[in-house]
Structure 1
Amino acid sequence: MSKPVGAITRGTTGHNRLRRADRWLAAVHAGSLRAAARPLVVDLGYGASHATTLELFTRLRLIVPDVEVVGIEIDPVRVAAAKPYEREGLSFRLGGFELPVSRPPALVRAFNVLRQYGEAQAWHRWDTLRAKLAPGGVLVEGTSSENGRRAVWVGLSREGPATITFSARFDAFERPSDLADRLPKTLIHRNVPGERIHAFLRDFDHAWAVSAAYGAHGARQRWLASVDVLARTWPVPVRPPLGGPARWRLGELTLPWAAVAPDR
Structure 2
Amino acid sequence: MPPEKVPGRVVGRITRGTTNTNRLRRVDRWIARHPALRRTADPLVVDLGYGASGVTAFELEARLRSVRPDVEVWGLEIEPARVERARVQLAQVRAGAGVFAPDARVGFGRGGFEVPTPQGRAPVVIRAFNVLRQYDEADVADAWGRMCARLQPGGILVEGTCDELGRICTWIEVGADATPRTLTISLRLSGLDSPAVAAERLPKALIHRNVPGERVHAFLTALDQEWTRAVAASAFGPTQRWRATLDALVSGGWPVGARSRWRLGELTVPWEVVAPTA
Which secondary structure state, in structure 1, belongs to the residue aligned with residue 133 of structure 2?
coil
2:75 alignment partner in structure 1: 71
Find the aligned partners of 1:172 and 1:162 in 2 and give their Cα distance.
Answer: 30
- Alignment counterpart, residue 141 of structure 1, candidates 148, 159, 178: 159
State percent identity of aligned pairs: 53
Q: Does residue 255 of structure 2 align to residue 235 of structure 1?
A: yes
- CA deviations on 1:17-60 (whole Å, 9 max, x unpaired) are 00011111112x1x432322222100000000111110001111
Which secondary structure state, in structure 1, belongs to the residue aligned with residue 223 of structure 2?
helix
User: Gaps spanning 5+ residues in structure 1: where?
Assistant: 238-242
Q: Does residue 105 of structure 2 align to residue 89 of structure 1?
A: yes
2:28 alignment partner in structure 1: 22
Q: Does residue 104 of structure 2 align to residue 100 of structure 1?
A: no
Quote how far apart the aligned CAs of 1:172 are. Answer: 5.1
Quote how far apart the aligned CAs of 1:99 are. Answer: 0.5
Conserved 8 A contact 1:45-1:74: yes
- Alignment counterpart, residue 34 of structure 1, candidates 35, 38, 45: 38
1:206 alignment partner in structure 2: 225
Find the aligned partners of 1:61 and 1:122 in 2 and give their Cα distance.
Answer: 30
2:268 alignment partner in structure 1: 254
1:188 alignment partner in structure 2: 207
Conserved 8 A contact 1:110-1:140: yes
Find the aligned partners of 1:71 and 1:187 in 2 and give their Cα distance.
Answer: 26
Conserved 8 A contact 1:150-1:172: no
Find the aligned partners of 2:138 and 2:79 in 1 and give their Cα distance.
Answer: 24
Conserved 8 A contact 2:36-2:156: no
Which secondary structure state, in structure 2, belongs to the residue aligned with residue 92 of structure 1?
strand
Q: Aligned in 2, Cα 1:36/1:111: closer, same or farther, shift over 3 Å?
A: same
1:174 alignment partner in structure 2: 193
Q: Does residue 66 of structure 2 align to residue 62 of structure 1?
A: yes
Q: Aligned in 2, Cα 1:172/1:136: closer, same or farther, shift over 3 Å?
A: farther
Which secondary structure state, in structure 2, belongs to the residue aligned with residue 70 of structure 1?
strand
Q: Aligned in 2, Cα 1:103/1:169: closer, same or farther, shift over 3 Å?
A: same
Quote how far apart the aligned CAs of 1:173 are. Answer: 3.1
TM-score normalised by structure 1 residue count = 0.94
RMSD across aligned positions (CA): 1.2
User: Gaps spanning 5+ residues in structure 2: where?
Assistant: 1-6, 92-102
1:150 alignment partner in structure 2: 168
What is the identity, as a one-letter code, of the residue corresponding to 1:108? I
Alignment of 1:39-58 (within 5 A): 39-58=43-62
TM-score normalised by structure 2 residue count = 0.89
1:240 alignment partner in structure 2: none
Quote how far apart the aligned CAs of 1:61 are. Answer: 1.2
Which secondary structure state, in structure 2, belongs to the residue aligned with residue 231 of structure 1?
helix
Find the aligned partners of 1:172 and 1:90 in 2 and give their Cα distance.
Answer: 35
- CA deviations on 1:82-103 (whole Å, 9 max, x unpaired) are 1131656210001111001121
What is the identity, as a one-letter code, of the residue corresponding to 1:205? D
Equivalent pairs counted in the alignment come to 256
Conserved 8 A contact 1:149-1:172: no
What is the identity, as a one-letter code, of the residue corresponding to 2:16? R
1:10 alignment partner in structure 2: 16
